[in-house]
Structure 1
Amino acid sequence: MRVEITDEVIPATEIVAELKAGADGAVCVFDGIVRDNTRGRKTLYLDYEAYREMALGQMRALAQEAVEKFGVRDVALVHRLGRLYVGETSVLVVVASAHRGAAFDACRWLIDTLKRTVPIWKKEQFADGAVWVDGEPFPEEIAVSRGAIADTGEPE
């Protein structure tokens, strides 16, 4: 598993290549990038901050839970902090598995759970102001027990 929080550019192509193995029939990638607008407002850049130690611990727990719950072989979770401009990768989720269904399901669950639970915050800077953004609502239809996260003090 590769779990990181970085202040540097995320080397997505390298991480995907490192995760692939002969037993894999699928590698699913979510490459979260900064878009140029939100709800009709022109985005200039995003600033990401985190409670780094807690975020890393929770990200490691999520990666391990994905392996156990979805039966995938390996996971990479990498999130960038600092100022990011349009087109830059803010978060990379890579899941390697023997089968595509498990890879897709685990990848979707990982990004949705990360955004909902991990203490990483973003401030969107627009041409006409700025706003701190909360995580997106978690789609209940793909919820999986968060037992591995319970060690962080959150209820199961």
Structure 2
Amino acid sequence: MIKITEKPIDIQKVIDTASCLGAGAVNVFVGTVRNQANGKNVVWLEYEAYETMAVGEIRKIIDDASHRWPLLGFAVSHRIGTLKPGEVAVAVAVSTPHRKDSFDACEYIIDNVKMNVPIWKKEVFEDGEEWISARPAAVAEKA
């Protein structure tokens, strides 16, 4: 399952979709909206996406991960729209035969979603707002 949605993410559905009876491990990453960034109070976040391209890029990341680790199942769900602190912005789940592969694959997927998928985030503070780069500065410098 790869899903870009304006609705709240059903974490249990993400886990169930990724789960497999042959798996010895299911690893889950849940990214939430924090209430502070750069020393400022976050009022809300706004996520926008080029949805068709985002799904395609996530598919490429999953395909690459499946060549690196023995994925038995996966699910990625990312919110768009307005989210308040405490809400779930993204959930990634993978199942593999063993835990180390599960941890590594899940980390690889979320790191690459954040770096390569056309989903943009605007942080809205009490005293202003700021669009956050889809690519962290260290990665952008290497490009």
TM-score by length of 1: 0.84
Residue 50 of structure 2 is aligned to residue 51 of structure 1:
yes
Q: Is the 8 A contact 2:20 2:73 kept in 1?
A: no
State the distance in 2 between where 1:119 and 1:135 align: 7
Secondary structure of the structure 2 residue equivalent to 1:54: helix
Q: Is the 8 A contact 2:61 2:109 kept in 1?
A: yes
Q: Is the 8 A contact 1:79 1:91 kept in 2?
A: yes
Percentage of pairs with the same residue: 38
Aligned match of 1:73: 72
Question: How far is the alpha carbon of 1:72 from its aligned partner?
Answer: 1.7
1:84 partner amino acid: L
Q: Is the 8 A contact 1:113 1:138 kept in 2?
A: no
Q: Is the 8 A contact 1:47 1:82 kept in 2?
A: yes
Aligned match of 1:127: 126
Q: Unpaired segments of 5 or more residues in structure 2?
A: none
Aligned CA distance change for structure 1 residues 43 and 4 (closer, same or farther; 3 Å): same
Write the mapping of 1:10-25 to structure 2, written as runs, cut at 5 A.
Answer: 10-25=9-24
1:8 partner amino acid: K
State the distance in 1 between where 2:106 and 2:135 align: 16
Aligned match of 1:88: 87
Q: Give the CA RMSD over aligned residues.
A: 1.8
Aligned match of 2:27: 28
Q: Unpaired segments of 5 or more residues in structure 1?
A: 141-156
